[in-house]
Every structure is written in C-alpha cells, then in structure tokens.
C-alpha cells in the first residue's frame, strides 16, 4: 500500500491528553485497540503450510484521532453552530496557549479561541489542561499570570466533569472562566494584538477537539459587559478540557499499489445502432 500525502498534510500536535482521550473513547464505546491479524496459506503438497501474524499494540495519535473523529466528528464539528448545550466540540482557528496558575503546584495551560455561531454571534471557547501535555515550558511566557480566586472552582469543575463547581450558577462560572482567559496579568491591559504576559503561543490555524463541561448563552439583561475589556460582544461561553490541538492534518490519500500495467482500452468499433456491428 503506497501512501500519498497532499502538501501541507504533515501534523504537529501542540496538545495531546492521552488520559482524557482514552477515557472519552471508553465512555463512548470507541475501541482504540488494534486487532491481531493472522494469514494462513493453503496446504501445498511437499511445501507444507505457512502462517504470517502481524500485531501492533498501540495506535498512532493520527489513527486514534481519526477513529474518534469518525465516531463523533459529525457532532463535534457542528457543535458551535447549533444551540447549546454541546458535549463535545471541535473547531479550527486562532488558538492562544497561556499559562494558568490554579490548583496544581506548577502552572497549567489554558487554551482560548473564538468562533461565530450560525447567527454570527461570538462564541468563546476556554479549555483547561495540563502543561505536561504540550511542548511548552513556563519559561516560554513572559510571566505566570495571576492566580484567580476561583481556582478551586475550576478544579472542582474539571474533576467533576461539569457536574459541580460551587461558583454560583453555571452562568457565573462561565463568566469567571472568560475573565480568567482575558486577564492581562500583573502588567495590566495591552493592545489587542499584543500577547498577554502569560501567553505561551498563538497558533493561527489550529484544529482542536475537546470535551465540553459548560455551554452557556449569556443573559444580556443580567450582565453589563460594556465596562469589561474584551467582553463587549460576548454571547456564548464554552468551557471544557482539550483532547488534542494540532496544526496541519489534511486527510492523506491512500492508493493501492499496482502490480500490473493497465492496458489502454481498444477504440470503439460501433455503438450498437445503425452502421454498428451486426
């Protein structure tokens, strides 16, 4: 089997959580194991019989992501375009990776991206994960950022997978997650295109997939967003944990190897109508 890959199809994972991927697959009936294959030849006189067994114990990240996407991709891809709540979501766009100082003794990571729903309204996606699942280090950012007073609520939200958090109602928790994602840090606000002090990287064309724990449309009569920088047009807030985030990743083309030469078709001698072959 010859594998031909389109240009730009090389994949680089900026985030990969093996534990969450395996838990998500197990809970949704997605088999990630690889089957053992055996090939046995027919019995041939004087030559006996031979058997070939092939086995691989682990799938590659590409294979695992492709298997999960084949099962839930139709739900994840349209999650942000449809009304909430979503349980799994995916998207492609500019993603900011930033340090988050929470319950862990060392900094964690926060992924923040924005999208638009089918009506053109803003959707903020905030994902909390482990820095160990990235290739970044705390020293890659200018500073660690501030530890929010709600760090324990974020911890409980992730640990319970959205069932409890203790920070008021779900809308209050979603607003708090957005404030954390937009917090400029000790250095104060900066111009819109300038990274915050806790920013590790901004990836312009990043594909992400995540479990969703909160998916809230804001009650605009409840919140006065005009006075909070970066929140003026906030409408929907999605909070969860990333399964993976990658760059590249177009689907490769697989073509079977030809062991023979295709012969050209002979020219047509007639069309079966008048004047054709009788």
Q: Name the residue ranges covered by the structural domains of the chain.
A: 60-247
Cα-Cα-Cα-Cα torsion 236, 223, 173, 140, nearest 10 degrees, comes to 70
- Predicted pLDDT at 189: 72
Q: What is the mean pLDDT of each run of 10 residues along the chain (278 residues)?
A: 42 93 90 69 67 68 90 92 94 94 86 93 96 93 88 95 94 96 79 82 94 95 82 94 86 40 55 45
- Predicted pLDDT at 54: 62
Cβ pair 110, 118 in contact under 8 A: no
Spatial CA neighbour of 24 closest among 73, 57, 58, 60: 73
Q: How far apart, in Å, are the Cα atoms of 71 and each of 13, 106, 243, 248?
A: 20, 35, 15, 21
- Predicted pLDDT at 257: 40
- Predicted pLDDT at 5: 33
- Predicted pLDDT at 48: 66
Strands 51-54 and 37-40: antiparallel
Q: What is the pLDDT of residues 78-117, one digit of tens each?
A: 999 999 999 999 999 999 999 998 877 888 999 999 999 9
How many CB atoms lie under 10 A from the CB of residue 26?
A: 11
- Predicted pLDDT at 275: 47
């Amino acid at each position: 089997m010859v594998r031909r890959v389109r240009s730009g199809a090389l994949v680089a994972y900026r985030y990969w959580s093996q534990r969450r991927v395996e838990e998500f697959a197990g809970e949704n009936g997605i088999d990630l194991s690889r089957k053992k294959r055996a090939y046995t030849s027919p019995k041939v006189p004087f030559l006996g019989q031979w058997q070939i067994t092939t086995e691989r114990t682990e799938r590659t990240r590409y294979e695992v992501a492709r298997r999960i996407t084949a099962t839930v991709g139709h739900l994840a891809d349209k999650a942000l375009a449809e009304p909430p709540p979503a349980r799994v979501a995916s998207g492609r766009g500019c993603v900011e990776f930033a340090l988050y100082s929470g319950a862990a003794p060392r900094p964690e990571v926060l992924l923040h991206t924005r999208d638009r729903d089918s009506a053109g309204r803003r959707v903020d996606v905030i994902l909390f994960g482990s820095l160990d699942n990235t290739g970044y280090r705390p020293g890659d950012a200018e500073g660690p950022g501030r530890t929010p007073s709600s760090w324990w609520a974020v911890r409980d939200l992730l640990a319970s997978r959205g069932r409890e958090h203790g920070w008021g109602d779900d809308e209050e928790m979603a607003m708090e997650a957005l404030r954390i994602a937009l917090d400029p840090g000790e250095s104060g606000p900066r111009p819109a295109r300038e990274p915050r002090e806790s920013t590790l990287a901004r990836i312009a064309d990043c594909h992400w997939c995540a479990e969703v724990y909160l998916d809230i449309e804001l009650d605009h009569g409840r919140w006065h967003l005009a006075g909070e920088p970066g929140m003026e047009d906030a409408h929907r807030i999605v909070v969860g944990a990333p399964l993976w985030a990658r760059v590249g990743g177009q689907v490769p083309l697989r073509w079977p190897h030809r062991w023979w030469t295709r012969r050209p078709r002979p020219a047509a001698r007639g069309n079966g109508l008048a004047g054709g072959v009788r």
